[in-house]
């Protein structure tokens, strides 16, 4: 990176969307001061209620934020836990917990580096040196650096006070607002492989301490025995009222009215889907019967979780992960989602989408040879776009200069060489399209399976342009497909280049307690194709299960060099 020292990047857009927001915290003495954590775009601060933002974490060694907390006694003390806490296939890891003593101007790493994913931070409201940190740990394998940690000396040392198994981490953590020694933690047994995901198992459940973490008891009275991810909310106005979103068979909302000792099932319907990715529940700070459950949408209950008939935030981006309610004015709420963040001042009836938080997650970027040259790219859950690198006029780039190509999760987007009117773009699972930029017309050009055949496309499938023929492109399933007419027709130019391991092709059973079959775990697929720009007919292909192969004769024969 020293080669680029002194080169300052400039933001060229697009600004019609933002990116995944994972954590929200505010100054308890001034709600206009916001801290916003993102999946891979660092940490941002606003001092004017979200009108403008400034990055405050760019000098640190990590860009993924999973949890934030502002000290309730000394608001210049801010804690940031790194590594997002919603372990989808593209989850971004972290590197411990950081502390700022000056409102985010400078940061110090305070340890817990191997936890990788920190999802919750709670500070004792009477003693700034006492902090609790909930880590889900790495979802990619077992380990001991996960669970609930506590410091009593401001982060100088840490004690692990709750650990239930090597694949169990903290999915949620709440503190009784009337008793800082009483905490409830959701423990979650989960593990991810590139080809499979499991949620639920021994060690999962809700655990409560009444003595600041010296002792924990698993809560059972009325709760299901077999559980996965759990979200917990405690009523600020009535702390004996505690709610839990419990992943089970079936998943449901549970409520306790005696401080967590006994529970009753409330609702199964309308509570949300895909608990491994969401399972977030919040209670109105002034009304113990008003709840919000976050998932792809946001549903509200006003009868203590019996029904969730109202959907709010229908005009903002889907997939919600972070939520803040003003303790003094519950009509004021902030939502963090896959498209950024939004602010409401009327309890979710209307929202202001924040468009100046530049944290979009590009999977791929390509350019063409036009003047000015144009940039093509696909973003996580924000579609694919094309726009100019600069413009022939005195002003700066504006969002109207960008063209929306296709929706969904955006991956490879690339131009047709020599024909700037057309380009290609794809969304998840091999949904490849050719786009007429002038008219906006798009055509699906995904290769079709033959009779009795099932094509396996990666979530982020391989796409490549032939350097010798502008009309020829390559696309990867378990085979390399070639089209010589811009995708109108295809031929297979390789055998199955993967290991074709049947043990890694059980995606229909993925998810654990809650099946989750979206294509994200598709495996034994080709993820990169690289035609040589020097030698015609020389093409390399790599697979997600470790094979590297090449052909020198345009696909007639392939040589596997994996063991070289």
The DSSP result for 471-488, as a single string, is T-EEEESSSEEEESSTTS
pLDDT of residue 60: 97
- Residue 15 reports pLDDT greater than 90: no
Whether residue 223 contacts residue 248, with contact meaning beta carbons closer than 8 Å, is answered with no
> In the numeric block, which tokens belong to residue 106?
């400078």
Q: What digits encode the pLDDT tens for the residues 394-440? A: 888 888 999 999 999 999 999 999 999 999 999 999 999 999 999 99
Tell me the C-alpha distance between 146 and 87, whole Å: 14
pLDDT of residue 7: 87
> In the numeric block, which tokens belong to residue 361?
């997650």
pLDDT of residue 206: 98
Whether residue 429 contacts residue 519, with contact meaning beta carbons closer than 8 Å, is answered with yes
pTM of the predicted protein model: 0.96
pLDDT of residue 314: 92
pLDDT of residue 509: 95
Confidence of residue 137 (pLDDT cuts 50, 70, 90): very high
> In the numeric block, which tokens belong to residue 496?
């199955």
Cα separation of the two ends of the chain:
30
Can you tell me the mean pLDDT for 544-549? 98
All CATH 2.130.10.10 domain ranges in the chain, comma separated? 59-218, 362-560
Q: What digits encode the pLDDT tens for the residues 65-115? A: 999 999 999 999 999 999 999 999 999 999 999 999 999 999 999 999 999
Can you tell me the mean pLDDT for 235-252? 98
Non-local CB neighbours of 353 within 8 Å, separated by 6+ positions = 316, 317, 339, 340, 341, 342
CB burial of residue 244 (10 Å; 0-12, 13-18, 19+): buried
> In the numeric block, which tokens belong to residue 434?
């050719």
Can you tell me the mean pLDDT for 245-250? 98
Tell me the C-alpha distance between 442 and 431, whole Å: 12
pLDDT of residue 239: 98
Architecture of the domain spanning 362-560: 7 Propeller (2.130)
- Residue 197 reports pLDDT greater than 90: yes
Closest CA to 123 of 159, 173, 64, 66: 173
- Residue 5 reports pLDDT greater than 90: no
pLDDT of residue 410: 96
- Residue 1 reports pLDDT greater than 80: no
Helix (H, G, I), strand (E, B) or coil at 2: helix
pLDDT of residue 9: 86
> In the numeric block, which tokens belong to residue 101?
């003593």
> In the numeric block, which tokens belong to residue 5?
């020292």
Dihedral angle sign, alpha carbons of residues 327, 333, 338, 341 = negative
The CATH number of domain 59-218, selected from 1.20.1090.10, 2.130.10.10, 2.60.40.10, 3.30.1330.40: 2.130.10.10
Cα separation values, 50 from 32, 34, 191, 397, 447, Å: 7, 7, 36, 22, 45
Count of CB atoms within 10 A of residue 48's CB? 10
- Mean pLDDT, the chain, rounded, equals 97
- Choice between 308 and 6, residue whose per-residue pLDDT is larger: 308
**Cα torsion at 70, 72, 77, 82 (round to 10°)?**
-30
Tell me the C-alpha distance between 389 and 340, whole Å: 23
- Residue 532 reports pLDDT greater than 90: yes
Tell me the C-alpha distance between 359 and 43, whole Å: 10
- Residue 2 reports pLDDT greater than 90: no
């Amino acid at each position: 990176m020293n080669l680029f020292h002194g080169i300052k990047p400039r933001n060229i857009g697009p600004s019609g969307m933002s990116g995944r927001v994972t954590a929200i915290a505010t100054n308890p003495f001034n709600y206009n001061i916001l801290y916003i954590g993102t999946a891979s775009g660092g940490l941002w601060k606003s001092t004017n209620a979200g009108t403008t933002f400034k990055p405050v974490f760019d000098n640190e060694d990590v860009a993924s934020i999973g949890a934030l907390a502002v000290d309730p006694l000394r608001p210049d003390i801010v804690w940031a836990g790194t590594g997002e806490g919603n372990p989808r296939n593209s989850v971004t890891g972290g590197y411990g917990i950081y502390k700022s003593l000056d409102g985010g101007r400078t940061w110090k790493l305070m340890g817990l580096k191997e936890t990788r994913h920190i999802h919750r931070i709670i500070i004792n409201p009477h003693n700034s040196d006492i902090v609790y940190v909930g880590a889900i740990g790495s979802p990619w394998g077992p380990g001991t650096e996960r669970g609930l940690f506590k410091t009593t000396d401001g982060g100088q040392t840490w004690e692990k006070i709750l650990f239930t198994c090597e694949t169990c981490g903290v999915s949620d953590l709440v503190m009784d607002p009337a008793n800082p020694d009483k905490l409830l933690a959701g423990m979650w047994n989960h593990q991810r492989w590139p080809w499979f995901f499991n949620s639920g198992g021994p060690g999962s459940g809700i655990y409560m301490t009444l003595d600041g973490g010296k002792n924990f008891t698993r809560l059972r009275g009325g709760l299901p025995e077999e559980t996965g991810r759990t979200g917990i909310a405690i009523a600020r106005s009535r702390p004996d009222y505690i709610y839990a979103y419990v992943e089970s068979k079936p998943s449901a909302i549970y409520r306790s009215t005696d401080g967590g000792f006994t529970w009753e099932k409330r609702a199964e319907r309308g509570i949300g889907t895909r608990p491994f990715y969401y399972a977030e529940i919040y209670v109105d700070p002034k009304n113990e019967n008003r709840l919000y459950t976050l998932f792809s949408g946001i549903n509200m209950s006003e009868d203590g979780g019996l029904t969730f008939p109202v959907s709010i935030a229908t005009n903002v981006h889907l997939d919600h992960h972070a939520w803040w309610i003003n303790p003094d004015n519950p009509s004021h709420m902030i939502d963090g989602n896959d498209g950024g963040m939004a602010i409401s001042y009327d309890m979710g009836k209307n929202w202001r989408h924040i468009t100046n938080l530049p944290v979009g997650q590009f999977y791929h970027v390509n350019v063409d040879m036009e003047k000015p040259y144009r940039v093509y790219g696909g973003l996580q859950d924000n579609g694919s776009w094309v726009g100019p690198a600069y413009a022939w006029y005195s002003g700066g780039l504006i969002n109207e200069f960008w063209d929306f190509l296709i929706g969904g999760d955006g991956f490879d987007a690339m131009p047709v060489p020599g024909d700037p009117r057309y380009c290609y773009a794809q969304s998840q699972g091999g949904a490849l399209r050719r786009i007429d930029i002038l008219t906006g017309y798009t055509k699906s050009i995904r290769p079709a399976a033959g009779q009795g055949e099932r094509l396996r496309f990666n979530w982020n499938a391989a796409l490549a342009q032939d350097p010798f023929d502008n009309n020829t492109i390559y696309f990867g399933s378990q085979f390399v497909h070639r089209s010589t007419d811009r995708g109108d027709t295809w031929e297979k130019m390789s055998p199955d280049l993967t290991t074709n391991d049947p043990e890694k092709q059980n995606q229909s059973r993925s998810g654990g307690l809650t099946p989750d079959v979206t294509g994200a775990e598709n495996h034994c697929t080709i993820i990169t194709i690289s035609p040589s720009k020097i030698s015609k007919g020389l093409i390399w292909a790599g697979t997600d299960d470790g094979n590297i192969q090449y052909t020198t004769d345009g696909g007639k024969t392939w040589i596997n060099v994996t063991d070289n």
